[in-house]
């Protein structure tokens, strides 16, 4: 969600370098937010005896947060105007507010188990530890910053602000529904595994 700030920085500085410079603090803030969400669950996995209860609780947290985001669509006004020196803080706050790390928790905890076909990557994540949580966070941030950076570059260089103002739509409801969906799928898989 930080790519519009990258476009804004490039337009204000009248330099494409400013666009790429903003991607670093945005990445750092988002990575920190993901780690804040994943690492506690990584440490909880050490309590293997309670794994099923932890997985159920995590699924309910994801669903509950998705419902909360769907019902409460307000954004704090203080997060709307961020000076360039505080982009990392902004990225962290927005990622926490939107529950970015929560989307990865069901996968990391193995709630979405591999099917009949033995998926090694999913198995690696399911049996993961804190190190795997860090790798998952870094891969997620790399994908997020690549997609956002490309979007910012396209808007800044080719599409322009009129494209954004004409085609902009609010992603909050989509994000909230996706959280509820992921949590629901994770819950269904966990309950199915529990009853078998």
Tens digits of residue pLDDT in 127-160: 556 677 778 778 888 988 899 899 889 988 888 8
Q: How many domains does the chain have?
A: 1
Residue range of the domain that includes 95: 3-195
Q: For residue 53, is pLDDT > 50?
A: yes
**Residue 70 pLDDT level (bands cut at 50, 70, 90):** confident
* Mean of the per-residue pLDDT values of the chain: 76
Q: Which of 44-53, 78-87, 152-161 has the highest mean pLDDT?
A: 152-161
Q: For residue 15, is pLDDT > 80?
A: yes
Find the mean pLDDT for residues 94-115.
64
| pLDDT given for residue 117 in this prediction | 46
Q: Which two tokens stand for residue 18?
A: 């400013």
Long-range contacts of 151-157 (CB under 8 A, 24+ apart): 151/3, 152/3, 152/4, 152/6, 152/7, 152/10, 152/19, 152/22, 152/23, 153/16, 153/19, 155/3, 155/4, 155/7, 156/6, 156/7, 156/10, 156/11, 156/16, 156/19, 157/16
| pLDDT given for residue 121 in this prediction | 53
- Residue 5 dihedral angles phi and psi, to the nearest 5°: -70, -35
Cα angle, residue 40 at apex, residues 138 and 72 outer, rounded to 5°: 85
């Amino acid at each position: 969600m930080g790519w519009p700030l990258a476009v804004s920085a490039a337009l204000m500085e009248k330099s494409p370098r400013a666009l790429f410079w903003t991607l670093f603090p945005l990445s750092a803030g988002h990575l920190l937010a993901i780690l804040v969400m994943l690492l506690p669950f990584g440490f909880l996995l050490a309590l293997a005896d309670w794994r099923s209860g932890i997985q159920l609780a995590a699924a309910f947290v994801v669903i509950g947060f998705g419902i909360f985001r769907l019902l409460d669509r307000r954004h704090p006004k203080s997060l709307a105007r961020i000076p360039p020196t505080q982009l990392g803080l902004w990225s962290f706050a927005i990622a926490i507010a939107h529950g970015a790390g929560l989307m990865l928790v069901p996968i990391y905890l193995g709630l979405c188990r591999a099917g009949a076909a033995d998926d090694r990557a999913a198995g690696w994540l399911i049996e993961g530890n804190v190190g795997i949580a860090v790798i998952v966070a870094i891969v997620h941030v790399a994908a997020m910053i690549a997609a956002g950076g490309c979007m910012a570059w396209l808007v800044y260089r080719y599409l322009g602000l009129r494209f954004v103002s004409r085609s902009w739509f609010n992603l909050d409801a989509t994000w909230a529904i996706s959280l509820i969906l992921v949590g629901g799928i994770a819950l269904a898989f966990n309950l199915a595994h529990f009853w078998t």
